[in-house]
Amino acid sequence: MTIKKKITATKAADPVKTPAVTVADAPSPAALQMAAFQEGVRLFTLKKFREACEAFGKVAKGPAINIADKARSYLQICERQLGQQSMQFNSAEDHFNYGVERLNARDIEQAKFHLGRALSMDPDADHILYTMALSCGLAGDGNAACENLKRAIELEPRNRILARQDPEFTALAHQYPALRSLLDSSGVAS
Protein backbone atom coordinates (compact mmCIF):
# COMPACT_ATOMS: atom_id res chain seq x y z
CA MET A 1 0.00 0.00 0.00
CA THR A 2 2.79 2.31 0.52
CA ILE A 3 3.63 2.06 -3.11
CA LYS A 4 0.14 3.13 -4.10
CA LYS A 5 0.38 6.18 -1.94
CA LYS A 6 3.64 7.21 -3.57
CA ILE A 7 2.21 6.82 -7.06
CA THR A 8 -0.85 8.80 -6.10
CA ALA A 9 1.33 11.49 -4.63
CA THR A 10 3.44 11.61 -7.78
CA LYS A 11 0.35 11.86 -9.97
CA ALA A 12 -0.94 14.69 -7.89
CA ALA A 13 2.37 16.50 -8.20
CA ASP A 14 2.63 16.14 -12.03
CA PRO A 15 0.34 19.05 -12.97
CA VAL A 16 2.51 21.32 -10.89
CA LYS A 17 5.69 20.23 -12.70
CA THR A 18 4.23 20.53 -16.26
CA PRO A 19 2.57 23.87 -16.79
CA ALA A 20 -0.67 23.77 -18.70
CA VAL A 21 -0.77 25.40 -22.14
CA THR A 22 -2.77 28.58 -21.89
CA VAL A 23 -4.44 30.70 -24.52
CA ALA A 24 -1.69 33.27 -24.03
CA ASP A 25 0.87 30.72 -25.25
CA ALA A 26 -0.97 30.05 -28.53
CA PRO A 27 0.18 32.13 -31.53
CA SER A 28 -1.95 35.18 -32.20
CA PRO A 29 -4.08 35.34 -35.36
CA ALA A 30 -1.73 38.01 -36.72
CA ALA A 31 1.29 35.76 -36.08
CA LEU A 32 -0.45 32.88 -37.87
CA GLN A 33 -1.31 35.25 -40.72
CA MET A 34 2.34 36.33 -40.99
CA ALA A 35 3.52 32.71 -41.02
CA ALA A 36 1.02 31.90 -43.79
CA PHE A 37 2.18 34.99 -45.71
CA GLN A 38 5.80 33.86 -45.46
CA GLU A 39 4.80 30.43 -46.74
CA GLY A 40 2.99 32.10 -49.65
CA VAL A 41 6.11 34.11 -50.50
CA ARG A 42 8.19 30.91 -50.37
CA LEU A 43 5.80 29.21 -52.80
CA PHE A 44 5.75 32.32 -55.00
CA THR A 45 9.56 32.31 -55.14
CA LEU A 46 9.46 28.68 -56.22
CA LYS A 47 6.98 29.70 -58.96
CA LYS A 48 4.31 27.46 -57.47
CA PHE A 49 1.67 30.05 -58.28
CA ARG A 50 -1.39 27.87 -57.74
CA GLU A 51 -0.32 26.92 -54.20
CA ALA A 52 0.80 30.50 -53.50
CA CYS A 53 -2.62 31.72 -54.67
CA GLU A 54 -4.32 29.55 -52.08
CA ALA A 55 -1.98 30.74 -49.33
CA PHE A 56 -2.35 34.42 -50.20
CA GLY A 57 -6.12 34.05 -50.46
CA LYS A 58 -6.24 32.87 -46.85
CA VAL A 59 -3.80 35.55 -45.69
CA ALA A 60 -5.88 38.27 -47.35
CA LYS A 61 -8.75 37.42 -44.99
CA GLY A 62 -6.59 37.78 -41.87
CA PRO A 63 -6.73 40.43 -39.16
CA ALA A 64 -3.54 42.40 -39.95
CA ILE A 65 -4.53 44.89 -42.64
CA ASN A 66 -0.98 45.59 -43.89
CA ILE A 67 -0.26 41.88 -44.36
CA ALA A 68 -3.66 41.33 -46.00
CA ASP A 69 -2.93 44.16 -48.46
CA LYS A 70 0.45 42.68 -49.39
CA ALA A 71 -1.16 39.27 -49.80
CA ARG A 72 -3.77 40.71 -52.17
CA SER A 73 -0.98 42.24 -54.28
CA TYR A 74 0.81 38.90 -54.47
CA LEU A 75 -2.50 37.19 -55.19
CA GLN A 76 -3.06 39.41 -58.23
CA ILE A 77 0.41 38.63 -59.54
CA CYS A 78 -0.14 34.89 -59.01
CA GLU A 79 -3.48 35.02 -60.82
CA ARG A 80 -1.91 36.92 -63.69
CA GLN A 81 0.90 34.36 -63.89
CA LEU A 82 -1.57 31.48 -63.88
CA GLY A 83 -3.64 33.17 -66.60
CA GLN A 84 -0.57 33.87 -68.69
CA GLN A 85 0.61 30.27 -68.40
CA SER A 86 -2.64 29.08 -69.91
CA MET A 87 -2.51 31.57 -72.80
CA GLN A 88 -1.09 30.48 -76.09
CA PHE A 89 0.75 33.04 -78.20
CA ASN A 90 0.93 31.64 -81.69
CA SER A 91 1.46 34.77 -83.76
CA ALA A 92 2.84 38.28 -83.72
CA GLU A 93 -0.72 39.58 -83.39
CA ASP A 94 -1.31 37.43 -80.29
CA HIS A 95 1.78 38.94 -78.65
CA PHE A 96 0.83 42.42 -79.87
CA ASN A 97 -2.70 42.20 -78.46
CA TYR A 98 -1.48 40.96 -75.11
CA GLY A 99 1.24 43.63 -75.11
CA VAL A 100 -1.42 46.31 -75.65
CA GLU A 101 -3.51 44.86 -72.82
CA ARG A 102 -0.46 44.92 -70.51
CA LEU A 103 0.37 48.47 -71.63
CA ASN A 104 -3.16 49.60 -70.80
CA ALA A 105 -2.78 47.99 -67.37
CA ARG A 106 0.54 49.86 -67.05
CA ASP A 107 2.49 46.63 -66.74
CA ILE A 108 5.18 48.17 -68.93
CA GLU A 109 7.77 45.40 -68.59
CA GLN A 110 5.35 42.69 -69.74
CA ALA A 111 4.10 44.98 -72.49
CA LYS A 112 7.64 45.50 -73.78
CA PHE A 113 8.37 41.79 -73.54
CA HIS A 114 5.36 40.78 -75.65
CA LEU A 115 5.77 43.63 -78.10
CA GLY A 116 9.41 42.58 -78.51
CA ARG A 117 8.29 39.01 -79.23
CA ALA A 118 5.77 40.36 -81.76
CA LEU A 119 8.50 42.41 -83.46
CA SER A 120 10.79 39.39 -83.64
CA MET A 121 8.02 37.59 -85.55
CA ASP A 122 7.04 40.57 -87.70
CA PRO A 123 9.81 43.21 -87.70
CA ASP A 124 8.11 45.46 -90.28
CA ALA A 125 4.77 45.82 -88.51
CA ASP A 126 4.43 49.59 -88.10
CA HIS A 127 1.62 49.30 -85.53
CA ILE A 128 3.80 47.11 -83.32
CA LEU A 129 6.74 49.53 -83.65
CA TYR A 130 4.44 52.45 -82.80
CA THR A 131 3.19 50.71 -79.66
CA MET A 132 6.70 49.62 -78.70
CA ALA A 133 7.79 53.27 -79.00
CA LEU A 134 5.09 54.27 -76.56
CA SER A 135 6.05 51.45 -74.15
CA CYS A 136 9.70 52.43 -74.25
CA GLY A 137 8.85 56.07 -73.63
CA LEU A 138 6.65 55.21 -70.67
CA ALA A 139 9.45 53.00 -69.33
CA GLY A 140 11.81 55.99 -69.42
CA ASP A 141 13.84 54.95 -72.46
CA GLY A 142 13.59 58.00 -74.72
CA ASN A 143 16.17 56.74 -77.22
CA ALA A 144 14.33 53.47 -77.85
CA ALA A 145 11.04 55.38 -78.06
CA CYS A 146 12.52 57.62 -80.78
CA GLU A 147 14.07 54.75 -82.71
CA ASN A 148 10.90 52.66 -82.73
CA LEU A 149 8.68 55.61 -83.65
CA LYS A 150 11.11 56.70 -86.37
CA ARG A 151 10.98 53.21 -87.90
CA ALA A 152 7.15 53.13 -87.59
CA ILE A 153 6.97 56.47 -89.44
CA GLU A 154 9.35 55.24 -92.16
CA LEU A 155 7.07 52.26 -92.73
CA GLU A 156 3.84 54.27 -92.49
CA PRO A 157 4.10 58.09 -92.59
CA ARG A 158 0.63 58.50 -91.05
CA ASN A 159 2.12 57.30 -87.76
CA ARG A 160 3.66 60.78 -87.31
CA ILE A 161 0.18 62.34 -87.43
CA LEU A 162 -1.21 59.69 -85.08
CA ALA A 163 1.61 60.27 -82.59
CA ARG A 164 1.09 64.07 -82.72
CA GLN A 165 -2.58 63.52 -81.82
CA ASP A 166 -1.87 60.90 -79.16
CA PRO A 167 -1.92 62.52 -75.69
CA GLU A 168 0.59 60.00 -74.36
CA PHE A 169 3.10 60.77 -77.10
CA THR A 170 2.47 64.49 -76.58
CA ALA A 171 3.40 64.09 -72.90
CA LEU A 172 6.49 62.07 -73.81
CA ALA A 173 7.54 64.70 -76.37
CA HIS A 174 7.79 67.20 -73.51
CA GLN A 175 10.21 64.85 -71.73
CA TYR A 176 12.35 63.83 -74.69
CA PRO A 177 13.58 66.54 -77.07
CA ALA A 178 14.53 63.99 -79.76
CA LEU A 179 10.97 62.67 -79.75
CA ARG A 180 9.60 66.21 -79.91
CA SER A 181 11.88 66.92 -82.88
CA LEU A 182 10.72 63.74 -84.61
CA LEU A 183 7.07 64.70 -84.16
CA ASP A 184 7.64 68.35 -85.15
CA SER A 185 9.49 67.57 -88.36
CA SER A 186 7.37 67.65 -91.48
CA GLY A 187 8.68 64.37 -92.77
CA VAL A 188 9.33 65.94 -96.18
CA ALA A 189 12.78 65.15 -97.52
CA SER A 190 14.70 68.27 -98.63
Q: Do 116 and 32 lie in a common domain?
A: no
190 in any annotated domain: no
pLDDT surpasses 50 at 189 = no
- Distance CA(152)–CA(15), nearest Å, equals 82
> What's the whole-model pTM score?
0.56
Q: What is the pLDDT of residues 53-77, one digit of tens each?
A: 899 999 989 898 888 888 888 888 8
Q: What is the DSSP string of the chain?
A: -HHHHHHHHHHHHHHHHSPPP-GGGSPPHHHHHHHHHHHHHHHHHTT-HHHHHHHHHHHTTSS-HHHHHHHHHHHHHHHHHHHHHH----SHHHHHHHHHHHHHTT-HHHHHHHHHHHHHH-TT-HHHHHHHHHHHHHTT-HHHHHHHHHHHHHH-THHHHHHHH-HHHHHHHHH-HHHHHHHHS-----
The residue from 58, 86, 114 where one domain ends is 86
The residue from 36, 62, 86 where one domain ends is 86
Q: What is the per-residue pLDDT for 18? A: 52
Domain residues for 112? Answer: 92-184
Domain at 10, CATH number: 1.20.58
The residue from 86, 115, 148 where one domain ends is 86
Q: What is the pLDDT of residues 164-178, one digit of tens each?
A: 999 999 999 999 999
Residue 92's pLDDT band (boundaries 50, 70, 90)? very high
Q: What is the pLDDT of residues 6-63, one digit of tens each?
A: 544 445 545 555 555 555 678 899 899 999 999 999 998 888 888 998 999 999 898 9
